[in-house]
Amino acid sequence: MSEGTAPHGLEPHDITRSPSQIYYYKIADPANSLSQLQLCVQLVLDQNPSFGRMKFPQIYNVYAICGFAALGGILFGFDISSMSGAIGTPAYKKYFNNPAGTRQGGITASMPAGSLVGALSSSFLADRLSRRNAIQIAALIWVVGAILQAASNGVALLCVGRVIGGYAIGICSAIVPVYQSEIAPKEIRGRVVSLQQWAITWGILIQYFIQYGCSFVDGGVENPNQGTAAFRIPWGVQAIPGLILFLGFFFFPRSPRWLASKDRWEEALRVLANLHGGGNMNHPKVLAEYKEIEEALRFEREVAETSFAALTKPRIFKRVILGMSIQCWSQLTGMNIMMYYIVFIMRAAGIADELLTASIQYIINVAMTLPAIMYLDKFGRRPALLCGSFLMAVWLFTTGALQASYGNPNPDKTDKDISWVIPREHRAVSKAIVACSYLFVATFATTWGPVSWTYPSELYPSKVRAKAVSLATASNWAWNCILAFAVPPLLWSINWKMYMIFGTFNAVAFIHMFLTAPETKGKTLEEMDDVFDSGLPAWKAGKIESRLDRVQRDIEAGNLKVSGHSHAESVNVETKV
């Protein structure tokens, strides 16, 4: 455009021009004003990447980054136990007209229903705005949901608040593991992504004890006129970690793989150098990882693997099914039933102080996740999946057998929650059921808990990673929603048989994982194609050397010459002859 030419509406081809070439803008057609305004904004952002961005000091410690990102897991944990303590208080029962069965199931299921939608939409935000910004948006949405729940004046508004909060959790649960896996080096990826699960357990524990403390408000559970602060305070404090997550993320970098996917190569190299090379762009590990990312993205663009349609291609589709299956099985293990309805389960076991007894399993959940964080990268993902499903099946079958052998129909016909109880004269049986519950939680915490988040975030190529993980996480939330809605009536109608059903699910999961889940420890995200395209069965496919290690050794030995890397666009890696 030259000076003196007639003003015109902004066109798509103008995006390729520099700001000096476009000095005058006028909306030529009011009907197209919105699309033209969007093009104008896109022009400014593309040509001035720093425009409108506040500069914050950046933290590049991998543990600090992934640990802070795991605050998204705290929100998830608050969600899981947000009902477990409240449903037993007189304040909750009176204010919401004593919901039970399907009605209570609907209230509980409203959160995972929102999470399902959030998970499905998460990839759009993560791919377009960056993983970091998507998590920040989710944090703000979570705050709105928490406020609505705390201010709810009936079941309708409570469900609206839970759906909105759930939408935020769906985004975080899908994107936080992706962000962590793209930040971390392969040697500790399992450890730092497992921080997501550890944060979930802390969220569950903190929320439960807040609810336990608030249950003593206005005379506690013995007072039929207990005030609504018993449930409003626990739901209101949920907003605090959401605000911290939003504000704190300004001090952490964007994913280098996302930056590379947007052709922001210099930024990507700088972030990689700060993360894995102490700020040295010439570090062999940084250059080797950069080369891996560059080659993987080039291949993905050549085969056009960038859309949801790419997930249906045979080489990707089997991984999509595997990721969705792992998230599905993590719900069908029965763990979240223990979290949502532990008060009902303890009451059915004949435990007098069910709130305090139930709290012990939340402590176990936190404590037993630590071994997984420490050893997941040493022992691997596959052994954890197999051992976990086998042992959880044992604990559930044992619980079901004890309930069937020693339980009786509940003589208290006014109790709308429990239809089958262990008589108080069978104290040893009650203790055995509680012990099985604790062992079940300990097993899940050390195996499926962390692996169900780590494994799906590792499986996919960069360009479709957020999309594929969003589908995997959506399957988690779909089953979470179904189970949250179905379990109260199941506990009432089939009681002990429910444990047998979930024990069977674990047995089937063991067989499925043995046949289809290869080991992924010690491999870069770009090397997953080698693992899954090797043609080897699952029990052998992960036993191949990391390509990144070979490239790094060649660079260190001088067998690969790296030149022009002061500007990331011109990095060249040449084989020395």
Half-sphere exposure at residue 370, Cβ-oriented, CA atoms within 13 angstroms: 6
DSSP states along 51-79: TTPPP-PPP--HHHHHHHHTHHHHHHHHH
> What are 223-248's pLDDT values in tens digits?
888 888 988 999 999 999 999 999 99
Q: Which two tokens stand for residue 336?
A: 């979240």
Mean pLDDT by 10 residues, the chain (577 residues): 40 38 36 43 48 71 95 89 80 86 83 92 92 96 96 93 95 95 92 92 89 83 84 93 96 94 92 92 90 85 71 89 95 80 68 70 91 90 96 94 85 69 82 89 95 93 88 91 79 82 96 95 87 85 71 75 47 45
Comparing CA positions, the residue from 168, 199, 100, 239 lying closest to residue 477 is 168
Distance CA(457)–CA(174), nearest Å, equals 9
Q: Phi and psi of 257, rounded to 5°? A: -75, -35
Query: In 10 A of CB 425, how many CB atoms?
Result: 10
Q: 560-563 and 572-575 as β-strands: parallel, antiparallel, unpaired?
A: antiparallel
Residues 6+ apart with CB under 8 A from 457: 177, 178, 180, 181, 193, 465, 469
The residue with tokens 């699952």 is 538
Comparing CA positions, the residue from 312, 260, 320 lying closest to residue 286 is 260
* H-only helix segments in 130-255: 131-150, 155-183, 189-214, 229-236, 239-248
* H-only helix segments in 22-61: 33-47
Distance CA(325)–CA(227), nearest Å, equals 43
Distance CA(254)–CA(182), nearest Å, equals 10
Predicted confidence at residue 161, as pLDDT, reads 96
Q: What letter represents residue 469's amino acid?
A: V
Query: In 10 A of CB 315, how many CB atoms?
Result: 13
Q: Which two tokens stand for residue 389?
A: 């499903």
Ranges of each domain in the chain: 1-53, 62-256+310-516
Global confidence as pTM: 0.77
* H-only helix segments in 303-425: 314-332, 335-340, 342-348, 354-379, 381-406
Predicted confidence at residue 388, as pLDDT, reads 97
The CATH number corresponding to 62-256+310-516 among 1.10.260.30, 1.10.240.10, 1.20.1250.20, 3.40.190.10 equals 1.20.1250.20
Q: Is 563 helix (H, G, I), strand (E, B) or coil?
A: strand
Distance CA(82)–CA(100), nearest Å, equals 16
Query: Alpha-carbon dihedral of residues 553, 555, 559, 560, nearest 10 degrees?
Result: 140
The residue with tokens 């994107």 is 175
Burial of 367 (0-12, 13-18, 19+ CB in 10 A): middle
Q: Which two tokens stand for residue 10?
A: 């902004």
Residues 6+ apart with CB under 8 A from 31: none
Q: What letter represents residue 130's amino acid?
A: S
The answer to whether 182 and 259 are in contact (CB under 8 A) is no
N residues, the chain: 577
Residues 6+ apart with CB under 8 A from 428: none
